[in-house]
């Protein structure tokens, strides 16, 4: 079985991504049935930053699939004392069956993937958050069907989540309108990847007009806490509130990877309103990542059979 990683969403082919989404829905619907293809398998989880959803969904997912997960942090491993990342990858990957990392620097996850014997999963870096996209795309599919040909509005920072949305637009062929203030654009390499599907504007109203899905995220990501005040200024007018939401398609959905700041990037009324699917989105982290773990670790898994790599 060839070694595969999920460092960025584009590590998957369109067919694999679609397959994982559909498999996640299947696993969700079979809740209660005992299915333990990962018996005796161990996932190492290294967190340099806080997490609620990512940690719990991976840990619960591994247990439900018959395996186990180990929580690791730089504070209590030698990584925090300067052991080289490549050495850590070599050692940890000889002891566990897959490694999920949440790191400040994206390069750390890349180095792990270059030196690991087992699959590496990006659980969020400064550059991307592919696991969240698996859940978001599953959630869209459950509520509205195929996303191909639809329009998604990203309102806010051109950050890690935005980058992964650009990759998703490329893989699943939807339009992405990004509204972000000057100086907060997505990275040029991600923008280039998106090509014609991606449009940037400084006007949230322009981006959201007729959109089928509206997505936002915090203005200051983890690691940018000291920029909070400056960012609150820069993002003034970017709150997704009811007035803005009305400009989207009548049946538009609202998503946010959470945690959310009510009264900053989203109003309480939108977050708690009828178009918001954020709680399904959060739950789907569990199902989507179970489908991902199965894809990466189970020989002859339904999605692996689609593999063109
Ligand atoms: N959305 C997300 O990744 O949440 P956590 O930071 O709680 O893991
Ligand atoms: N952009 C946010 C996402 C948190 C899940 C961050 O990086 O903090």
Instruction: Identify whether residues 270 and 141 lie together within a single domain.
Output: yes
Q: Are 138 and 242 part of one and the same domain?
A: yes
Structural domain boundaries enclosing 23:
9-129+283-299
Pocket test for ligand 2, best of 50, 128, 222 (most atoms within 8 A of CB): 222
Cβ(257) to ligand 2 under 6 A?
yes
pLDDT at 31: 82
Residues 185/245, Cβ–Cβ less than 8 Å: no
Asked if 107 and 170 sit in the same domain, the reply is: no
| Number of structural domains the chain divides into | 2
Give the residue whose CA is nearest to atom 3 of ligand 2: 221
**pTM (2 d.p.):** 0.98
In the predicted model, residues of the chain with pLDDT beneath 50 are none
Site to probe by mutation for ligand 2, drawn from 160, 216, 278 as the one with most ligand atoms within 8 Å of Cβ, is: 160
Q: Do 259 and 181 fall within a single domain? A: yes
pLDDT tens digits for range 43-68: 999 999 999 999 999 999 999 999 99
Residues 6+ apart with CB under 8 A from 95: 42, 44
Residues 216, 263: one domain? yes
Burial class (CB in 10 A: 0-12, 13-18, 19+), 55: middle
- Active site residue ranges: 102, 129, 132, 217, 257, 285
Residue 308 inside a domain? The answer is no
288 in the same domain as 269: no
Same domain, 58 and 152: no
Residue ranges around ligand 1 (CB below 6 Å): 51-54, 124, 132, 257-258
Looking at the domain assignment, is residue 254 inside a domain?
yes
- Tens of pLDDT along 218-231? 999 999 999 999 99
CATH number at residue 32: 3.40.50.1370
């Amino acid at each position: 079985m060839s070694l595969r990683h999920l460092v960025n969403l584009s590590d998957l082919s369109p067919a694999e991504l679609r397959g994982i989404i559909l498999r996640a829905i299947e696993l969700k619907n079979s809740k209660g049935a005992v299915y333990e293809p990962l018996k005796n398998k161990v996932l190492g989880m290294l967190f340099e930053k806080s997490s609620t959803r990512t940690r719990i969904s991976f840990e619960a997912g591994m247990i439900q699939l018959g395996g186990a997960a180990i929580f690791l942090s730089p504070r209590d491993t030698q990584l925090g004392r300067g052991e080289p990342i490549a050495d850590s990858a070599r050692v940890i990957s000889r002891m566990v069956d897959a490694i999920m990392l949440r790191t400040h620097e994206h390069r750390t996850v890349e180095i792990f993937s270059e030196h690991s014997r087992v699959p590496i999963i990006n659980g969020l870096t400064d550059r991307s958050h592919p696991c969240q996209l698996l859940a978001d795309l599953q959630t869209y599919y459950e509520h509205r069907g195929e996303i191909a040909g639809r329009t998604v509005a990203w309102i806010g920072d051109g950050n890690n989540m935005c980058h992964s949305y650009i990759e998703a637009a490329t893989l699943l062929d939807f339009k992405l309108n990004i509204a972000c203030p000057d100086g907060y654009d997505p990275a040029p390499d991600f923008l280039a990847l998106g090509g014609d599907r991606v449009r940037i504007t400084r006007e949230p109203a322009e981006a959201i007009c007729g959109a089928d899905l509206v997505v936002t995220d915090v203005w200051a990501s983890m690691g940018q806490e000291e920029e909070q005040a400056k960012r609150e200024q820069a993002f003034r007018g970017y709150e997704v509130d009811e007035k803005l939401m009305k400009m989207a398609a009548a049946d538009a959905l609202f998503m946010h990877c959470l945690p959310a700041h009510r009264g900053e990037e989203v109003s309480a009324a939108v977050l708690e309103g009828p178009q918001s699917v954020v709680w399904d989105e959060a739950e789907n982290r569990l199902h989507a990542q179970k489908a991902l773990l199965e894809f990466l670790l189970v020989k002859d898994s339904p999605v692996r059979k689609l593999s063109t790599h």
